[in-house]
Chain A
């Protein structure tokens, strides 16, 4: 077990909307060890991006959002930090790479300008030095001819190159934690392979913790050490990657894994289907949130919400029917 760099305790994120308050993330807890890659998986609307943006407190706190719980990063509770201190955490100690690199980069500034911006905000060094470092970062993320690329604008680069520039921006202050939110979703498989290789490489070289947010289970299996599966704002299962793929317990995890199309020995394996769709956040089912789509649902599941219970070494499941919770609820 490594040293915990980030600990999230009971995080709840609520948004004020026109139709009242909506809870996007409901009491989730997890941690990231130094130097590990944690996968956060789930479908659209499960709260994985809200979780990551809550860690950096990216929502407008004056109006939209209410946080509860605790986010401990190196001993400090980020949720209690004044905005000014938070600014040095954002981009400095915790960095983020977003899905859409074209809208995350400013089209009016060159690559070097954008990387230098975060260096100059977080560290006291001269512009010339910052530029040299920016070029060095571009080289580190594998951009050929970095001297020339540094003076180009985002529109002059391909999608893969832009994503590399984003990663260069994120890494320019040597963060201890990198949050990568679907970093390759818009990219081709060959480019995805390059970017994933790069993230893994930097994770090893810089001993940086990574939270990899994705809906692609195959990417998770190749990259992550541990995985947390989210459904409707909650973690429903958490385990190390081998256990999760070989002995998934939650019906939702099982369903996700079985809905990956696989071909063995030239024959299509029956593609299992999770019936229905993820309900909207203002219509969250009573009891277990997965119940309406669950093939094993019993009357027990509609009465109360199952807790996230340990079932093995580092393996937690939120289900009455597959773990420690069962006996407890019946007795």
Chain B
């Protein structure tokens, strides 16, 4: 088994919410006590519905957001309480690819500036070297050199995402948090980007935290998968185990909602009742009990712990 590259222990990210006149109105527990380990060279798929905290967790793990509590280790170095200055040399090891390549690229800078800026911030290379490395990176992500002087608005969505990937790769990271990197793209472009991400991973033994709500893409990309619900990790397993033997009722609902591209197997869905409860006032006990078809009295009062139900497969549910 590969060595862990990033380890999170009981991480919490809470946000204060202010109401009228700035008075404190409560706390959103966006990430509430999550522990997980990313191993060298793997793709860890993080899935869940909008508002489940998957993006917040992804950003907290690479310290783009401050954790409220818990500890985070990058290669055995604890990064939880490092200052921004101390973090800077480590930043090049952890990069991020965003969902919307339009708003994550500065529209007033041309592609070349966007890329060379990354290297300039690290301050290691001469101007000439920065330009050469950026051009090499452009060709690695499949863009012709003439795109160097183009502006983001002149590029298509797929090309912009390639620039986003190039920017993330320039600092030679070990870990990349990919936050819905293909959700905004068209079908044919999506498969081009998926293929590029897989190729780059193979060549550079990258570790991906792949955040997505698209289960078919996650199944295709990931080695292991974690399922989040209301800020908590409710199930984690290898990708085949999770898709073939999902244990948590929420995971099963999520999987049954995914449409299959086969018109002969229109299957019966488990249609989920109700909506995601507000993370401002999450339900007591098991967070899923308000929508779970199997909820018992115990689920309403006692929060289930994650327990191992098969090797490498954990889930938090009283009735498994």
Contacts and interface: CB of A to CB of B under 8 A. Distances in A.
A274 interface: yes
Contact of B191 (A241, A245, A273): A273
B318 to A, nearest CB: 22
A242 interface: yes
Most chain B beta carbons < 10 A, residue from A245, A268, A273: A273
A303 interface: no
B275 A222 contact: no
A27 interface: no
A261 B220 contact: yes
A268 B201 CA distance: 15
Contacts of A263: 219-220, 239, 243
A190 B253 contact: yes
Interface in B233-284: 239-240, 243, 253-254, 256-264, 266, 269, 271-272, 274-276
B215 interface: yes
B141 to A, nearest CB: 14
Contact of B259 (A215, A222, A257, A262): A222
Contact of B156 (A194, A221, A222, A277): A277
Interface string A185-229: 000111111101100000000000000000111110110000000
A277 B189 contact: yes
Contacts of B256: 193
A158 B275 contact: yes
B263 A241 contact: yes
Contact of B271 (A197, A216, A271): A197
A271 B194 contact: yes
Most chain B beta carbons < 10 A, residue from A158, A192, A242, A259: A259
Interface in A244-281: 245, 255-257, 259-263, 266, 268, 271-274, 277-278
B188 A192 contact: no
A197 B269 contact: yes
Contacts of B190: 259
A129 to B, nearest CB: 30
Interface string B214-235: 1111011100000000000000
A196 B267 CA distance: 13
A273 B220 contact: no
Contacts of B172: none
A118 B231 CA distance: 41
B50 A159 contact: yes
A190 B49 contact: yes
Most chain B beta carbons < 10 A, residue from A44, A222, A262: A222
Interface string B47-75: 00110000000000000000000000000
A221 B271 CA distance: 18
Interface string B124-156: 000000000000000000000000000000001
B274 to A, nearest CB: 8
Contacts of A219: 259
Given A271-B191, A271-B194, A273-B192, A190 B260 contact: no
A219 to B, nearest CB: 5
B186 interface: yes
Nearest to B259: A218
Contact of A189 (B158, B192, B213, B276): B213
B262 to A, nearest CB: 6
B187 A221 contact: no
Contacts of A183: none
B195 interface: yes
A245 B261 contact: yes
B262 A245 contact: yes
Interface of A: 43-44, 144, 158-161, 188-194, 196-197, 215-219, 221-222, 241-242, 245, 255-257, 259-263, 266, 268, 271-274, 277-278
Given A218-B259, A222-B266, A277-B159, 16 more contacts: A43-B186, A158-B275, A188-B49, A189-B213, A193-B259, A193-B272, A222-B260, A245-B263, A256-B187, A259-B190, A260-B261, A261-B194, A261-B216, A261-B220, A261-B221, A263-B220
User: Top 9 nearest A-B pairs by Cβ distance?
Assistant: A261-B220, A259-B191, A218-B259, A193-B257, A274-B188, A43-B186, A188-B49, A189-B257, A218-B261
27 contacts: A158-B276, A188-B49, A188-B50, A189-B49, A189-B213, A189-B215, A189-B254, A190-B49, A190-B253, A192-B259, A193-B259, A193-B272, A194-B272, A197-B269, A217-B187, A219-B259, A222-B263, A222-B266, A255-B188, A259-B188, A259-B190, A260-B261, A261-B191, A263-B243, A272-B191, A273-B188, A274-B188
